[in-house]
Amino acid sequence: MELTGADLSGAVLTDVDLSAADLTAANLTGATVRADVDGAVFRDAVVANTELIETTLPENVARTPASGHPDETPTETVDAEDRHRPETDQREQVSWQQRLVAGSIAGGVSVLVGYLLTLAVVGGFERGTLIRARLFDASGWAYYDAQLVQLEINDPLDSDTQGAFDGDAWNIVTQSGEPRILGVLGVTVLSAVYHLIPVVVLLAAGAVAARSVGVTTVRGGATTGLATVPGSVVAAALGALAFSGQIGGLGLGVSVLESVRWVGVVFPAVFGTAGGVLCGVIAVRGGTGTGLGR
């Protein structure tokens, strides 16, 4: 049925088969419609104050008055996307919260796992008497030193060295810094092993966090991996407070600020994110992802 441009304002269209009708640019203002409109073309058709009886028009039909009827009140066009946008935004918000929670948990756990792996290496393979005597503290120092946090020295004036080494720093993994007397704390296992532990653990943490929330894009993997930072910050600060001790009258420990900076922020931001990105890439290439988007 050809009704292109037809003026059907006020018309009564009941029990009419409009399933194949072409109503392009037709004016249905004030009309009463009770008809089968499946398959009908309503491109640029104008509908205002139209009574629909058991009839549903396509969503893209303009609800505006026809020209020449200025007194008519236009009916706002409701777009399907606009109608569902609040629900969509809510789903996206929940998704981000899930990524943040998953990443934070993975970040906190990564510090614990990294420390335990370092403890296993120190306890199983190091032979230094002083390191084994301070096994739990020394393992923490090695784990933090492997992430560029120096072991700081507190040498009080009433000690045997009379404060000569106060404020100095030593790295037991790279065996660098002052005083050289602390070389007795140096590790004998290849230093690369200690450096690899936090890197591998954080890569795994980022990937596991991304996998747990089902990311399907590279960007989603990156944001989830980056979310390992908050949990790592908390765990790194607690560890810095826990790993302190004395050897030969010298107080040894790691700086909380430096620990948060390197162990809590820099390493997780780099390697946790990389692990999440890797998970996203695998999802995309495996056919379950959607590319670089969310």
- pLDDT for 268 equals 98
Nearest to residue 118, comparing CAs of 131, 106, 103?
131
- pLDDT for 175 equals 80
Condensed to tens digits (0 to 9), the pLDDT of residues 157-184 reads 555 554 556 667 778 898 876 555 555 5
CATH topology for 1-78 is: Pectate Lyase C-like (2.160.20)
- pLDDT for 182 equals 55
- pLDDT for 33 equals 76
The tokens for 223 are 């944001």
Q: Work out the mean pLDDT of the chain and round it to a whole number.
A: 78
Q: Where are the domains of the chain?
A: 1-78, 96-285
- pLDDT for 192 equals 94
- pLDDT for 251 equals 78
Torsion angle defined by CA atoms of residues 138, 140, 145 and 149, in that order, rounded to the nearest 10 degrees: -120
Q: Which residue stretches of the chain have pLDDT < 50?
A: 65-94, 162, 294
- Which residues, in sequence order, are CB contacts of 285 under 8 Å at separation 6+? none
pTM of structure:
0.65
Condensed to tens digits (0 to 9), the pLDDT of residues 22-69 reads 777 777 777 777 777 776 777 777 777 777 766 676 665 655 544 444
Separation between Cα atoms, residue 223 and residue 96, nearest integer Å: 9
- Which residues, in sequence order, are CB contacts of 175 under 8 Å at separation 6+? 183, 186, 187
Amino acid at 275: G
